[in-house]
Amino acid sequence: MKYLFLSIIATIGFIASSFIALTASSNIGRQATEITLTVADESIAYPKAAITNFKYTISKDSVQFDYSLSDYTLGNQTPDAASKSCANSAKGQHIHLLLNNLPYEAWYLPSFKKRLAEGHYVALSFLSRSYHESIKISSAFVLKQFNVGKNEGTTIGDINLKQPLLFFSRPKGEYIGNDTKKILLDFYLINTKLSSKGNKLRATINGKEFIITDWKPYFIEGLPMGESTIKLELLNKNNQPVSKDLMFQTIERKITLKEK
């Protein structure tokens, strides 16, 4: 009986150790995938795309946004979308609206109303391809700031919109299946350029750092399933924040990848 008991214990120990080894091996395999960041292939250009007019109307806790566009059609699929092999909106081209550098909302019509809590807002709007890559020309964005609530119509809380500003666009939210293979990294810069000897962008992806010196779209590959963290920092030549308004200098987001 004693030997039988010891045999059972040994068997249980072997199974447990095998399970731990298998789990460890599986984890090692997931972590061994190298995270890479590469410049995306050149996208179809829209050199004349423009937000020709923009106005907002505040009514208590609601803001009406109205855009006039030229040489750009909302709702169309960008012609090279299939070749990108990344997440693409079935609803087509749209406007990215970022309020206080929080995750953007996509709008597919040139006029819409949005309820907002009382407070100060910096609103960036820019034209986006159907696969969420921004149009990076001066005519394709508009930047405004305003107050909703008791300070409406005042400049209380205003920041300097002429300083270098960084806005985080993609990635965002959840990615499933084939969309997890290539994750678009896209950001918007205002009042600054990037270079190896001047201002630069540091992207930290799950702890791995990349220095970006060109304002272009990039693809992240090799991310594990589950949660990942991406932090973007706009830095000067001394690797310090370009300004004191950190809301527009350092932004961190979490995304989730799922197999299905």
CATH code of the domain covering residue 234: 2.60.40.10
Q: Does residue 96 belong to any structural domain of this protein?
A: yes
> What pLDDT shows up at residue 27?
38
- Whole-prediction pTM: 0.87
Domain total for the chain? 2
Q: Does residue 153 belong to any structural domain of this protein?
A: no
Domain boundary among 116, 148, 180: 148
Q: Does residue 6 belong to any structural domain of this protein?
A: no
| Residue 151 phi, psi dihedral angles, 5° rounding | -100, 15
Check whether residue 123 and residue 69 sit in a common domain: yes
Check whether residue 172 and residue 251 sit in a common domain: yes
Token representation of residue 191:
């009042």
Q: Does residue 3 belong to any structural domain of this protein?
A: no
Q: Does residue 83 belong to any structural domain of this protein?
A: yes
Q: Does residue 29 belong to any structural domain of this protein?
A: no
Check whether residue 140 and residue 183 sit in a common domain: no
Check whether residue 58 and residue 140 sit in a common domain: yes
For residue 128, what are the contacts with CB-CB under 8 A and spacing of at least 6? 93, 94, 95, 96, 106, 134, 135, 169
Check whether residue 253 and residue 171 sit in a common domain: yes
Closest CA to 145 of 181, 116, 109: 116
Q: Does residue 126 belong to any structural domain of this protein?
A: yes
* Dist CA 16 CA 28 (whole Å): 18
Consecutive H or E run containing 13: helix 2-32
Domain boundary among 148, 180, 209: 148
For residue 101, what are the contacts with CB-CB under 8 A and spacing of at least 6? 122, 124, 167, 168, 247, 248, 251
> What pLDDT shows up at residue 244?
87
Check whether residue 84 and residue 133 sit in a common domain: yes
Check whether residue 167 and residue 239 sit in a common domain: yes
Check whether residue 56 and residue 139 sit in a common domain: yes
> What pLDDT shows up at residue 33?
81
Do the Cβ atoms of 23 and 48 come closer than 8 Å? no
pLDDT in tens, the chain (260 residues): 444 433 434 443 443 444 333 333 333 334 458 999 999 999 999 999 999 999 999 999 999 999 999 999 999 999 999 999 999 999 999 999 999 999 999 999 999 999 999 999 999 999 999 999 999 999 999 999 999 999 999 999 999 999 999 999 999 999 999 999 999 999 999 999 999 999 999 999 999 999 999 999 999 999 999 999 999 999 999 999 998 899 999 999 999 999 98
Check whether residue 54 and residue 144 sit in a common domain: yes
Q: Does residue 107 belong to any structural domain of this protein?
A: yes
Domain boundary among 148, 175, 205: 148
One-letter identity of residue 161: L
> What pLDDT shows up at residue 7?
44
Check whether residue 133 and residue 174 sit in a common domain: no
- Domain residues for 135? 50-148
Check whether residue 55 and residue 143 sit in a common domain: yes
137, burial (CB in 10 Å: exposed 0-12, middle 13-18, buried 19+): middle
Q: What single string gives the DSSP state of each residue in 159-191?
A: --TTS-EEEEEES-SEEEGGGGTSEEEEEEEES
Check whether residue 59 and residue 141 sit in a common domain: yes
| Residue 103 phi, psi dihedral angles, 5° rounding | -50, 135
